[in-house]
Homo-oligomer: A and B are copies of this chain.
């Protein structure tokens, strides 16, 4: 199969981002094999042509979507699968079917997290577990809250892949009047930026309820960006020294951090807001109907930064609130001293 040709396209996941991606691709004339976790949602989609739980205002033309809860059937029908489940569930989904079904697929990752059991990005997991051909992998990142895609408000997505033809072919399927696309080769950096921004957004939410103001928040986010930039540069040097460095002052890196820290749509920011108000981590997570990726990301990045010996004091402090019972208010008193 030629890399220009995406063949049949499947989408794995029916959360808000998976639903937004399905909207973009069906708006652009693609038919989507859509794996939806439970049979009730499949039936609802078939009968009422919209997702019962997320982006409920988005209507699909019945002929453009083929929803099913049979993952194996989707994989057997498709050449290209777009992976959009919370990273905490990704490994379970992958392991629920035979390995061979994944091995030859073009896998497009819309996951913004690290797989929790292995602390690996999806591509590194696939290569390690399946001897997967990394040239068939593309990530979709960028500052893009699904709710604004539902409203068709202009958004920018960055596609990263080592194979230019495939990456461009995928990006071209997304381009339309409300989606602008760019692409680069930086699978690792773009995904790590997306992981990190969720952790920092939890911090932004905490700062917000701890009654810090706009001045402080801008300083906090600036320091988060500096830490992210430092991590990305160090990661390149230590892990992929010969890879080409992209321009980190672009939307997939800084832009995604900004929208996640500032937008009220951000569920990670919301988690932080609740922690700042004094909710326990457990209760805050129970209260939220959607998974805040930053919770698991904080633990994953803690492990990765230790392994690579990269100092990340801000991410580490937020990790301590999330996983080691540190008090949010005390943590920010310490952070105040670190910022500049």
Contacts and interface: CB of A to CB of B under 8 A. Distances in A.
Contact of A226 (B180, B221, B249): B249
A222 interface: yes
Given A151-B213, A215-B153, A339-B156, A249 B229 contact: yes
A262 B214 contact: yes
A214 B145 contact: yes
A339 B155 CA distance: 11
Interface stretch (A253-261, A284-292, A293-301): A253-261
- How many copies the complex holds: the figure is 2
Contact of A259 (B143, B211, B215): B215
A263 interface: yes
Interface residues of A, number: 42
A148 interface: yes
Contact of A156 (B148, B250, B340): B340
A229 B249 CA distance: 9
A251 interface: yes
A247 interface: yes
29 contacts: A143-B214, A143-B222, A145-B213, A145-B215, A148-B213, A148-B215, A151-B213, A153-B215, A154-B213, A154-B215, A154-B336, A155-B216, A155-B219, A156-B215, A180-B336, A180-B339, A180-B340, A182-B340, A214-B259, A214-B263, A215-B259, A218-B256, A218-B259, A218-B262, A219-B251, A222-B250, A225-B249, A226-B250, A250-B340
A219 B138 CA distance: 21
A265 interface: yes
A81 B288 CA distance: 53
Contacts of A151: 213
Contact of A154 (B216, B225, B226): B216
A114 interface: no
